[in-house]
Amino acid sequence: MSLNLILMGLPGAGKGTQAQFIVDKYHVPHISTGDMFRDAISNSTPLGVKAKEFTDKGNLVPDEVTNGIVKERLAQDDTKPGFLLDGYPRTLEQADALSQMTKDLNKPLTAVINIDVDPKLLTERLSGRFICKNCGATYHKLYHMPKVPGTCDVCGGHEFYQREDDKPEAVKNRLKVNVKMNTPLIAYYKDRDLLFNVDGSKDIDEVWKKVDQILSTL
């Protein structure tokens, strides 16, 4: 039976790492919205051309175009063993559209894995990053400090900075937006008995052990 999955989680929850583990073990393509749009646009598919008209103007791509691009991608041959969707659906309307397209393609969803981490912990994870001004080496206040305090391990520089995106207030706002977006989707898939919550605050290997345990029983 094919393994048709959605991977959910807030920024910093470790989705990318778990996605790679799933792809390596279960040999399903990792399908992210960014990649789908890039492929459709670079291949100048009719929907890709439409999407480009919106992105060139800095506008959001409407659902009908996004849904069409997703359906085209899920219809490709490499999804026969299954697929791992990442970054879609983002709204309940898209979730309904996905439900219909998986019926049309005879590829019903198997499970939705939600990597669940408290936003407070994610704020610490995401806002702890700082960068060497001289060479761009990246450090973290909790997980990866320079060996000699105040001195870059790579170039010996002494000046560091933090990206605007990584500052605590910006991180909190980004997480708030994502929580608002994810909450209805989590309820939607829970109601349909497709949702599996995994505690993403644990070590990477422990999180993977739990994800693998869930997938191996489906």
Tens-digit pLDDT profile for residues 111-140? 999 999 999 999 999 999 999 999 999 999
Whether the CB-CB separation of 10 and 178 falls below 8 Å is answered with yes
Q: Is 90 annotated as a binding residue?
A: yes
Reported as a pLDDT band with limits 50, 70 and 90, residue 59 is confident
Would you say residue 169 has pLDDT above 90? yes
Q: Is 59 annotated as a binding residue?
A: yes
| DSSP assigned state of 60 | P
Reported as a pLDDT band with limits 50, 70 and 90, residue 44 is very high
What is the Cα–Cα distance from 148 to 46, expressed in whole angstroms?
55
Tens-digit pLDDT profile for residues 135-162? 999 999 988 999 999 999 999 999 999 9
Catalytic positions are 15, 90, 129, 163, 174
- Sheet architecture: strand order including 111-116: 30-32, 82-86, 3-9, 111-116, 195-199
Q: Domain spans of the chain?
A: 3-118+176-216
Q: In this predicted structure, what is the pLDDT of residue 34?
A: 86
What is the Cα–Cα distance from 16 to 208, expressed in whole angstroms?
12
pTM tops 0.85: yes
Three-class DSSP category at 131: strand
Would you say residue 80 has pLDDT above 90? yes
Q: Is 89 annotated as a binding residue?
A: yes
Reported as a pLDDT band with limits 50, 70 and 90, residue 58 is confident
Q: Is 163 annotated as a binding residue?
A: yes
Closest among 52, 205, 201 to 116, alpha carbons compared: 201
3-118+176-216 adopts what CATH topology? Answer: Rossmann fold (3.40.50)
